[in-house]
Amino acid sequence: MDDTEFRRRGKEMIDYIADYLKHIKERRVTPEVEPGYLRPMLPKNAPEKSETWENIMEDVERAIMPGITHWQHPRFHAYFPAGNSYPSILGEMLSAGVGIVGFSWAASPACTELETIMLDWIGRMMALPAGFLPFDPSRDNKDSDDDEEDDEELCSESDEESRDDDLHDSISNGENNHGQKSTRHIGGGVLLGSASECILVAMLAARTKKITSKRQADPLMEDGQILARLVCYTSKLAHSCVEKAGLIAMVRVRQLAVDEHFSLRGKTLEECIRADKEKGLIPFLVSGTLGTTSCCSYDNLEEIGEICQREKLWFHVDGAYAGSAFICEEYRYIMKGLQYADSFNTNPNKWLLMNFDCSCFWVRDKFALINAMSVDPLYLQHKHAQKAVDYRHWGVALSRRFRSLKLWFTIRSYGIEGLRHYIREHCRLAKVFASLISMDNRFETIGDVTLGLVCFRLKGSNKLSQKLLLSLNDSGLIHMVPSMVNDIYIIRFAVCAKHANDDDMRIAFNIIQEHADDILAEYRAQRG
């Protein structure tokens, strides 16, 4: 393909995508294919000779589209939203076009610097504790005549800072493995590929930190002996990626019970830590959640945070979905206690209109990451390493995509105001849907509807709701997934579509009601 053809095909592709999204509701939400459907539709071997673009595009409709689950469909209510917007798609296109691999500052300075700035922007949009924000001389030496909003934010940031200093006076020793001096701000953010990766990275950093401090306290102890005794705590409703991170990091993960609001409480954590310490185990990490996947519940960060501070445990907070809501002031009450966290993640690729992949991860002490993950071969070194950020030390991967472009395009195109409107609409629509559910006394909602997720079920046995969901998903008209909270089977209804509206809520509810009629009629018939 030469540049002339690329211009032509590129424009056609934009048309294809725009048409796909415009007419998406004419398709079934979920595909009807069986595993292995694609192999017989494609040749066994790659083509020896080049094929025409027309042929390739024909095969998209013939072979690929029948196997697509349409996540952007207005009747897609499964999981959490898959972020998508035109500015983000175009940002991804430019990222692919410039084709850089940004593992170090020198590998493409704009890639690193835009990423740092975007994490700072988003951190401030969400009013995260100041300890997570990177050092910014212009902000920190600001004149008092700056605009009102900034003054307000700075004011709360400096409040946070004094709290941070109390909480984290132990970490600012000013030196990392490479002898770099730290400034007073040693926090910052990075873009990683997924929330799972953020949680793994937090765990690896916490693990190294604990092993190092134990070894310093008792030089006769070997790393392996300490590792075998490490324990991480999380709730039963935390995402399974915490358990998986534990498998990779080779540490125990305790999944603790939640209260009647599906929240992990301090007392539960405290008792478990006490019992583990009595057994000679070494607690090192708590992974709390704001907005669990199961039912969008929130762990009690204040209670947990105080314990982490007292016990010197790393406190990670996973806000993969709910974090985006913090750009709206009215939802910030949810993050009460986040000032105790050592690290925090949220996925703009879920609920901030960014295409996958785009996970934001902030830490208070970037040296904890660098200490756990930096290696420095000659071919990656560069002359600005002392002054610049090298994100390859902040995560597992070396090569990194130019992900921040889509953030930059999308945030600027929508403005924070536009993004807030999008979040608020989803939260409003969830309430509309919940009120429809509550008007039909065959159903009940489970848990609070705070953001864009409604959990509901048919009153009665778990089996009934299970049958209902099976029937709904088989119909291809709507797609939802289940969850189990405190032994109750629930159906999760997430508001996902970018332009979801009141009609979509009513249509979804009508489909659910019709299927419930059939399920309940069948149930009554069986019981005679």
Which residues are near ligand PLP by CB under 6 A? 79-80, 194-196, 239, 241, 289, 291-293, 318, 320-321, 347, 359
Residue number, 347 or 404, with CB nearest to ligand PLP: 347
CB of 195 to ligand PLP, least distance (A): 3
CB of 198 to ligand PLP, least distance (A): 8
CB of 200 to ligand PLP, least distance (A): 9
CA 482 to chain centre: 19
CB of 491 to ligand PLP, least distance (A): 16
Tokens of 75: 């009747």
Residue number, 196 or 263, with CB nearest to ligand PLP: 196
The residue among 295, 336, 291 whose CA lies nearest residue 318 is: 291
CB of 289 to ligand PLP, least distance (A): 5
Other CB atoms within 10 Å distance of the CB of residue 97: 12
Tokens of 409: 């395009």
- Name 295's Cβ contacts closer than 8 Å, sequence gap at least 6: 237, 262, 446, 447, 453, 455, 483, 485, 490, 492
CB of 196 to ligand PLP, least distance (A): 3
Residue number, 318 or 365, with CB nearest to ligand PLP: 318
Tokens of 283: 């607690």
Residue number, 229 or 350, with CB nearest to ligand PLP: 350
Question: What's the rounded Cα separation, in Å, for the pair 112 and 393?
Answer: 12
- DSSP classification of residue 64: I
Residue number, 116 or 294, with CB nearest to ligand PLP: 294
Question: DSSP string spanning 119-166?
Answer: HHHHHHHTT--GGGSPP-HHHHT--TTS-HHHHHHHHHHHHHHHHHHH
CB of 386 to ligand PLP, least distance (A): 33
Residue number, 80 or 489, with CB nearest to ligand PLP: 80
Q: Which amino acid is at 363?
A: V
Residue number, 107 or 232, with CB nearest to ligand PLP: 232
The residue among 63, 69, 118, 64 whose CA lies nearest residue 404 is: 118
Q: Which amino acid is at 179?
A: G
